[in-house]
């Protein structure tokens, strides 16, 4: 049999709170324009070659990109807009994009810097070394987890090692594994709900949702979700909980608009951890 540490739920809660904070802004170049705000200014930074969504929120709704008049006021050599919802960084420097809807406008001040070359490597979280894929820049570690940002697009990756079991994997019965699987699945579902709630709380409107949940193997549970946001498009979420041989449970969450990068990040973590 196995025994759980008493602080398991507290550690899980810490990870969930971090996730809600990380993804609450959606990882977009965005701002909300209340009806009393004639002009707003939002500052953000991108890496050269990175693409990111630009979102114009008016009141409590996101305005369809084709209805917003976006204009690059400064730095046409620094950024470009290949379509009405995407900014792509071309070269280092500063750019100003102005979005206008009705009589209200938002100025997006974008600072572009050279992208560091980030190889696949191991990061240390909660005393555990975890392999992560290339193109992710280290963020500031927090209690229960660490945030990493992709240098190519707006995918975020958060890694936590917030639960642990006192177990010997080789001696567990299937009933023991079933219970562990159920607990990890509950942790993964709670995390997904935290991400979902943070988006809805930011005024994003869900129009459709598709998800799958599977036990990859004993002690490893994966949840994949694609949810369609009105006037924005598909947003992808991939979460996995992995029980290691020493009883430590890794929780990895990838989220963003690039399905390939989101799913590929978790594929890598499953393979290497």
pLDDT one-digit tens code per residue, 91-115: 999 999 999 998 889 999 999 999 9
Q: How far apart are the first and last CA of the chain?
A: 24
- In the predicted model, what is the mean pLDDT of residues 55-82? 93
Spatial distance between the Cα atoms of 57 and 32, rounded to a whole number of angstroms? 4
pTM of the prediction?
0.86
- For residue 221, pLDDT over 80 is answered with yes
Name the DSSP letter for residue 152.
S
Contacts of 178 (CB under 8 A, 6+ apart): none
- For residue 177, pLDDT over 80 is answered with yes
| DSSP H or E segment with residue 4 | strand 3-4
Q: Are 78 and 58 in contact, with CB atoms under 8 Å apart?
A: no
- For residue 163, pLDDT over 80 is answered with no
Q: Are 126 and 163 in contact, with CB atoms under 8 Å apart?
A: no
CB atoms within 10 A of CB 38: 9
Residue percentage of the chain with pLDDT more than 90: 48
Q: Is 144 helix (H, G, I), strand (E, B) or coil?
A: coil
Half-sphere exposure of 57 (CA within 13 A, CB side): 21
Spatial distance between the Cα atoms of 39 and 7, rounded to a whole number of angstroms? 47
Spatial distance between the Cα atoms of 167 and 180, rounded to a whole number of angstroms? 11
Spatial distance between the Cα atoms of 114 and 123, rounded to a whole number of angstroms? 22
| Least reliable range by pLDDT among 11-15, 119-123, 151-155 | 11-15
Spatial distance between the Cα atoms of 46 and 44, rounded to a whole number of angstroms? 7
Q: What is the overall mean pLDDT for the chain?
A: 83
Spatial distance between the Cα atoms of 116 and 48, rounded to a whole number of angstroms? 9
Name the DSSP letter for residue 65.
G
CA-nearest of 49, 27, 30, 26 to 40 is 30
């Amino acid at each position: 049999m196995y025994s759980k540490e008493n602080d398991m739920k507290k550690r899980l809660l810490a990870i969930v709170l971090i996730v809600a904070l990380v993804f609450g802004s959606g990882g977009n170049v965005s701002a909300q324009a209340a009806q009393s705000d004639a002009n707003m200014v939002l500052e953000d930074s991108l890496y050269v070659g990175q693409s990111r969504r630009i979102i114009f929120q008016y009141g409590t709704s996101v305005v369809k990109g084709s209805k917003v008049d976006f204009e690059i006021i400064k730095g046409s050599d620094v950024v470009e807009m290949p379509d009405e919802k995407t900014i792509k960084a071309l070269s280092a420097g500063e750019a100003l994009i102005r979005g206008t809807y009705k009589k209200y406008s938002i100025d997006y001040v974008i600072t572009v810097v050279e992208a560091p070359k980030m190889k696949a490597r191991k990061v240390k979280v909660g005393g555990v070394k975890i392999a992560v894929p290339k193109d992710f820049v280290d963020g500031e570690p927090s209690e229960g987890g660490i945030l990493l940002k992709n240098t190519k697009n707006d995918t975020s990756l958060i890694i936590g090692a917030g639960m642990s079991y006192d177990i010997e994997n080789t001696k567990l019965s299937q009933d023991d594994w079933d219970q562990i699987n159920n607990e990890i699945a509950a942790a993964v579902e709670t995390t997904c709900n935290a991400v979902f709630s943070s988006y809805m709380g930011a005024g994003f409107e869900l129009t459709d949702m598709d998800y799958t949940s599977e036990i990859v193997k004993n002690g490893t549970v994966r949840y994949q979700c694609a949810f369609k946001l009105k006037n924005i498009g598909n947003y992808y979420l991939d979460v996995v909980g992995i029980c290691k041989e020493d009883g430590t449970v890794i929780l990895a969450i990838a989220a963003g608009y690039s399905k390939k990068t989101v799913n590929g990040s978790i594929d890598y973590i499953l393979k290497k951890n």
